[in-house]
Amino acid sequence: MKNACVIGWPIEHSRSPLIHGYWLKTYGIEGTYTKVAVKPEELGGFLASLAERGFCGCNVTVPHKEAAYRASAERDASAVAVGAANTLWLDGGTLHCANTDTYGYMTYLTERASNWALRDAPVSILGAGGAARAIVYGFLQAGVGEIRLFNRSRERAAALAQAFGPRVRVHDWHQRGPLSQNASVLVNTTSLGLKSAGDIGIDFSAFHSACVVSDIVYVPLETAFLAAARLQGLATVDGLGMLLHQAVPGFARWFGVCPEVSGELTRLIRADIEGA
């Protein structure tokens, strides 16, 4: 019997137990995946006693991603690039970590808009938090020549760009619309639009028709940002896929089966979000 969990503070909102619980049932695996509320001051003690508590690993969410990264003895390149971890596992008593947000984002983008890289055009990214770091890393890994980064506070974007080198270029927040018109992909990684609060304020009417517009916000499933892009005829990619796909590597690691993000699982989580 293998047990994994997701830890955060708060943790009530997490949909990870629904995702992993679905896979455990689907593949007939004897295991559990639970949520555990861990206060920031308890994180070190919790991770040090993971095995004692019967866990082979865990997912980590807000606000523990950076601290979990620091607490791990072995770090995957994915976590090193982002400076934060969301997936932890024990191997011979040693705590390992990875960041699977990059994998989750890029996998879903490529599944939904396989031609996104056909035009050799810049990628535009809104935001400079942890999610932006994971996504910048993904596009750089995919070979994108130029990433345009826009953030309300320019200094934070500049710090991110500095960590990733000259292919990431920082621009003022007010230029996010005009400088994204020719983008191959425009991604929102800010919290604007979450629960329909705030407006990204981009007019898509002059955008290149092949621009793919994506949002990592998934409540609501179609944000106002995505709806506006869709109304201009642009391809859109919602935030649900990243949530689902980022869970795959952890499940494979803990339970030994690489799970499928099936239509049934997508419908299950979609219904949960819509019913919330």
Catalytic residues: 65
Contact (CB, 8 A) for 144 and 167: yes
Q: Does 152 bind ligand ATR (CB under 6 A)?
A: yes
Q: Does 198 bind ligand ATR (CB under 6 A)?
A: yes
Q: How many helices (H) and strands (E) does the chain have?
A: 11, 12
Q: Which stretch binds ligand ATR (CB under 6 A): 27-35, 106-114, 150-158, 206-214?
A: 150-158
Contact (CB, 8 A) for 6 and 33: yes
Is the peptide bond preceding residue 10 cis, with omega within 30 degrees of 0?
yes
Using the Cα atoms of residue 214, residue 175, residue 128 and residue 191 in order, give the sign of their dihedral. negative
Contact (CB, 8 A) for 7 and 38: yes
Pairing of strands 87-91, 57-60: antiparallel
Q: Binding ligand ATR by CB under 6 A: which of 29, 38, 192, 243?
A: 192
Q: Which stretch binds ligand ATR (CB under 6 A): 17-25, 42-50, 103-111, 126-134?
A: 126-134
Nearest to 160 by CA among 146, 150, 175: 150
* Shortest Å, Cβ 38 to ligand ATR: 18
Complex with ligand ATR: residue 2 or 156, whichever CB lies closer: 156
Q: Does 17 bind ligand ATR (CB under 6 A)?
A: no
Q: Binding ligand ATR by CB under 6 A: which of 8, 130, 249, 259?
A: 130
Q: Total number of residues binding ligand ATR (CB under 6 A)?
A: 15
Q: Does 265 bind ligand ATR (CB under 6 A)?
A: no
Measured from each CB, the residue nearest to ligand ATR is: 129
